Amino acid sequence: MGLLAYLKTQFMVHLLIGFVFVVSGLVINFVQLCTLVLWPVNKQLYRRLNCRLAYSLWSQLVMLLEWWSCTECTLFTDQATVDRFGKEHVVIILNHNFEIDFLCGWTMCERFGVLGSSKVLAKRELLYVPLIGWTWYFLEIVFCKRKWEEDRNTVIEGLERLSDYPEYMWFLLYCEGTRFTEKKHRVSMEVAISKGLPVLKYHLLPRTKGFTTAVQCLRGTVTAVYDVTLNFRGNKNPSLLGILYGKKYEADMCVRRFPLEDIPLDEKEAAQWLHKLYQEKDALQEMYNQKGVFPGQQFKPRRRPWTLLNFVCWATVLLSPLFSCVLGVFASGSPLLILTFLGFVGAASFGVRRLIGVTEIEKGSSYGNQEFKKKE
């Protein structure tokens, strides 16, 4: 085992990475708070600044995927679609099967220059998660309770605010509403059968309200829908903790572009279009499981150095005073100071582990276990 491989497995190294992410995130959140004074004066300047601030935080996670674990991402699509990446506002539909599916999506956002301006329709619980939810709040992320009667006005207002967004925006939708588990899949397919819809093998029944509303509200802004179907070679089930330990994965993403004008204006017809899309996604996953590849030409967009440089800059600024402080604590010989420092290390470890836990499937919400039995 080489030195770098050894370091990737060490708890203290993980703790230092977590320290840089958390402290830089708090600094970024404070600066974002200060930028609120710009909103009534120059809304577009506020948005551009916050895109760059968010990039400085999210790119640290992308750095872990690209440079720390050296995970490779391959696109299966066509040249015409690749040529449009990062040059138009789009809605992204991504399957929600893996703990790091969001990170693979962010990697593609970063490589095509839209990481800072990426958006998502997120569950409201995430708003209260430190760093993640706070950063999203300043980015005008649309949050929902996943109860359409309560969400309708909030979602519509949030989407309409984005109609004049100054940076190219990729708006992510997890139409399944929650991560795939066998229990949720079983309940979901019971609902599909009761509604006369085809049974899906690899996906949950898509929730259509969020999709049809997003398409309606963003017409005139968004020009296309990108359907993205993600899987990992070797039947791997990657995790953020695995990425932190330096495990390398190989992600394959099948991307299909649908011009927005091809999606029906009528809400019911748009919902039928989405159901048909998920049947096609299911067929793509079946093909991948049989052949090990998706259809289409293969592209491997090159990783850019900015995520690594951003992390190195933050680490240089934050770790130098930390090391000086640690040396001072132990040099003092004070039991109280040393115990206080060790308590801080324990609390920091707990906090970092809780942040990682947000992505873990087994610690996900129970949403979808019973809710599928209710009407949308």
Q: Enumerate the H helices of 69-173 as residue ranges.
A: 79-84, 101-111, 132-138, 148-161
Residue whose C-alpha is closest to residue 86's, from 231, 229, 255, 220:
255
Q: CA Rg, the chain, in Å?
A: 22
Q: Are 87 and 226 in contact (CB under 8 A)?
A: no
How far is it, in rounded angstroms, from Cα 86 to Cα 169?
8
Q: What is the DSSP string of 223-238?
A: -EEEEEEEEEGGG---
Beta strands in the chain (DSSP E): 72-77, 90-94, 119-123, 142-144, 170-173, 224-232, 250-259, 297-299
Buried b (16+ CB within 10 A) or exposed e, 94-129: bbbbbbbbbbbbbbbbbbbbbbbbbbbbbbbeeeee
Could you read off the pLDDT tens digit of each residue along the chain, which spans 376 residues?
A: 688 888 898 888 988 999 899 999 999 999 999 999 999 999 999 999 999 999 999 999 999 999 999 999 999 999 999 999 999 999 999 999 999 999 999 999 999 999 999 999 988 888 988 899 999 999 999 998 878 788 888 899 999 999 999 999 999 999 998 889 999 999 999 999 999 998 999 999 999 999 999 999 999 999 999 999 999 999 898 999 899 999 999 999 999 999 999 999 999 999 999 999 999 999 999 999 999 999 999 999 999 999 999 999 999 999 998 888 888 877 887 888 888 877 877 777 777 666 666 655 555 555 555 554 454 4
d(CA 194, CA 191): 5
CB-based burial, 5-23: b 16+ in 10 Å, e otherwise: eeebeeeebbebbbbbbbb
Tell me 285's DSSP state: H
Closest C-alpha among 213, 221, 89, 226 to residue 144: 213
Given this model, what pLDDT does residue 375 score?
43
Q: Are 180 and 96 in contact (CB under 8 A)?
A: yes
Quickly tell me which residue has 């003092």 as its tokens: 332
pLDDT for 332: 81
**Both tokens of residue 339?**
């115990």
Q: What is the pTM of this model?
A: 0.89
8 A C-beta contact, residue 165 and residue 221: yes
Cα distance between residue 148 and residue 156, in whole Å: 11
> How far, in Å, CA of 111 to CA of 243, rounded?
19
| Alpha-carbon span 222 to 215, nearest angstrom | 8
For residue 315, the model assigns a pLDDT of: 96
Question: Could you tell me how far CA 63 lies from the centroid of its own chain?
Answer: 14
| Token code pair at residue 133 | 């939810």
Q: What is the dihedral of CA 21, 355, 106, 67, to 10 degrees?
A: 50
Residue among 117, 123, 187 nearest 155 (CA) = 123
pLDDT digits (tens, 9 = 90+) for 267-297: 999 999 999 999 999 999 999 999 999 999 9
Take residue 177 and report the two structure tokens written for it: 């509403």
Q: Coil, strand or helix: which one is 345? A: helix
Q: What is the DSSP letter of 252?
A: E
CA 318 to chain centre: 26
- pLDDT at position 327, please? 84
Q: What is the pLDDT of residue 376?
A: 44
